[in-house]
């Protein structure tokens, strides 16, 4: 057991139906001019943007909406948003949506107060010491970004990578499960298995801590129980609430532990193969567990939590539809991706020993068209 550790989530988490309007005073306490960062459609369709605008109007706050955040937000998008945010004179940024708008909001909050920086400069946190406060309102249940210091952006070459800064921790997170009711089956699945991978990876990581392990186990139990049911009953608010809570718990886990090789290997599958982030993690989870188990079976047993063994996890993924994805990976692609993966910090957090050949073999094992 790791005897030297800390647990730190400086985000105040508010939970419940209509929490955004019930707790509108929170916005008033943080600023007068609010920059809302969101995606193009979902926050308009799930009622969250209306609730947020009502809350801000009730408090007499001025706001503008930047609704151009794409899936896997680009450097260009966050730089443009920061320019608009600065010109508006915002003193508060609200990230509303899934992981992409929340991650973009964090980048915008830093870039706005540091006009000399480009998005690339965010990756060295010694470049900046100030940021606007961020309030995060998740409308999916998976990323956990509402309680983390991470922001994953896509660079000019189309590669995904995360930066980390304590300034990126949201001041407040507001969790209302009603916003997640409208998620499609595919989005429900991909976001839930992203949260599940955060919990597994937090337990597996060399950086795991006793307190994050407790949250991770609880998140795994919740997702294991609620996900198969919610795929059958998408309108069940209680199940949606369980998944949202699990996602936030798993976010708190990776805020302490970081993610592992699974995430590092998953990024190219999203960038180059168009796989949803959560699905990329999920299809890698079993082969990575199997490889670590060759040298450190105890670590894998611990990380599986309430799953009896890797086979049970495999069956669970089969049942919910993770293995329905179609993927083709060539040896040339796998070798290129591995060059990047071996340089990532994730590999140091992953127990077991992975050679480049092991990583190539894992990528090739995902091929579903052979
Ligand atoms: Fe993730």
Which segments of the chain belong to CATH 3.40.50.1970? Answer: 12-180
Q: Give tens-digit pLDDT for 219-238.
A: 999 999 999 999 999 999 99
pLDDT for residue 369: 52
Q: What local confidence, expressed as pLDDT, does residue 74 receive?
A: 98
Over residues 275-320, the pLDDT tens digits come to: 999 999 999 999 999 999 999 999 999 999 999 999 999 999 999 9
Strand-pair partners of 63: 34
262 C-alpha vs ligand 1 centroid, how far in Å? 9
- Gap from CA of 203 to ligand 1 centroid (Å): 14
Q: What distances in angstroms separate CA 120 from CA 54, 108, 132, 159, one per listed residue?
A: 35, 13, 19, 12
Q: How far apart are the CA of 266 and the centre of ligand 1, in A?
A: 9
Task: Give the confidence band of 28 by pLDDT, cuts at 50, 70, 90.
Answer: very high
- The alpha carbon of 264 and the centre of ligand 1 are apart by a number of angstroms equal to 10
Which whole-number Å values give the CA distances from 104 to 117, 131, 190, 253, 275, in the listed order?
15, 13, 20, 21, 20
- Quick check: 340 pLDDT over 70? yes
Helices (H), 59-152: 75-88, 99-113
d(CA 287, ligand 1 centre) in Å? 17
In this prediction, residues 248-264 reach a mean pLDDT of 97
What is the Å distance from ligand 1's center to 356 Cα? 23
Fold for domain 12-180?
Rossmann fold (3.40.50)
60 pLDDT more than 80: yes
pLDDT digits (tens, 9 = 90+) for 82-129: 999 999 999 999 999 999 999 999 999 999 999 999 999 999 999 999
Q: How far is the CA of 258 from the centre of ligand 1 (A)?
A: 10
Full-model pTM: 0.96
Parts of the chain belonging to CATH 1.20.1090.10: 185-365
Q: Output the CA 7–ligand 1 centroid distance in Å.
A: 20
Which pair of structure tokens corresponds to residue 158?
């189309």
The angle that helices 237-257 and 210-232 make with each other, rounded to 10 degrees, is 150
Instruction: Give dist(CA 254, CA 211) in Å, integer.
Output: 12
Alpha carbon of 197 to ligand 1 centroid (Å): 7
What pLDDT shows up at residue 368?
A: 72
User: How many percent of the chain have pLDDT more than 70?
Assistant: 99
- Percent of the chain residues topping a pLDDT of 90: 96
Would the pLDDT of 51 be above 50?
Answer: yes
CATH architecture for segment(s) 185-365 = Up-down Bundle (1.20)
């Amino acid at each position: 057991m790791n005897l030297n550790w800390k647990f730190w989530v400086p985000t105040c988490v508010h939970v419940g139906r209509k929490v955004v309007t019930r707790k509108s005073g929170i916005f008033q306490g943080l600023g007068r001019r609010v920059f809302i960062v969101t995606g193009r459609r979902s926050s308009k369709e799930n009622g969250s943007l209306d609730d947020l605008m009502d809350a801000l109007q009730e408090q007499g706050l001025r706001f503008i909406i930047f609704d151009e955040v794409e899936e896997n937000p680009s450097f260009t998008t966050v730089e443009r948003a920061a320019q608009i945010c600065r010109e508006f004179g915002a003193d508060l940024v609200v990230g509303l949506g899934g992981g992409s708008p929340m991650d973009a909001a964090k980048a915008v909050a830093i870039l706005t107060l540091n006009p000399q920086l480009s998005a690339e400069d965010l990756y060295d946190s010694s470049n900046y010491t100030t940021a606007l406060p961020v309030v995060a309102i998740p409308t999916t249940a998976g990323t956990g970004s509402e309680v983390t210091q991470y922001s994953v952006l896509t660079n000019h070459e189309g590669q995904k990578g995360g930066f980390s800064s304590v300034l990126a921790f949201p001041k407040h997170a507001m969790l209302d499960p009603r916003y997640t009711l409208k998620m499609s089956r595919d989005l429900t699945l991909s976001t839930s298995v992203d949260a599940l991978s955060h919990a597994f990876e937090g337990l597996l990581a060399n950086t795991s801590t006793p307190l994050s392990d407790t949250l991770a186990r609880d998140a795994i139990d919740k997702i294991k129980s609620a996900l198969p049911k919610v795929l059958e009953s998408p309108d069940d608010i209680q199940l949606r609430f369980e998944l949202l809570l699990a996602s936030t718990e798993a976010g708190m886990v990776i805020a302490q532990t970081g993610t592992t090789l699974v995430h590092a290997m998953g990024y190219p599958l999203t960038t180059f193969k168009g796989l949803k982030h959560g699905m990329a993690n999920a299809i890698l989870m079993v082969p990575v567990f199997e490889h670590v188990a060759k040298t450190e079976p105890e670590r894998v047993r611990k990380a599986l939590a309430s799953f009896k063994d890797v086979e049970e996890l495999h069956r669970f993924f089969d049942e919910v539809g993770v293995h329905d994805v179609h993927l083709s990976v060539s040896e040339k692609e796998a070798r290129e991706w591995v060059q990047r993966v071996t340089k990532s910090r994730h590999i140091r957090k992953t127990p077991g020993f992975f050679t480049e050949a092991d990583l190539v073999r894992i990528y090739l094992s995902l091929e579903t068209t052979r």
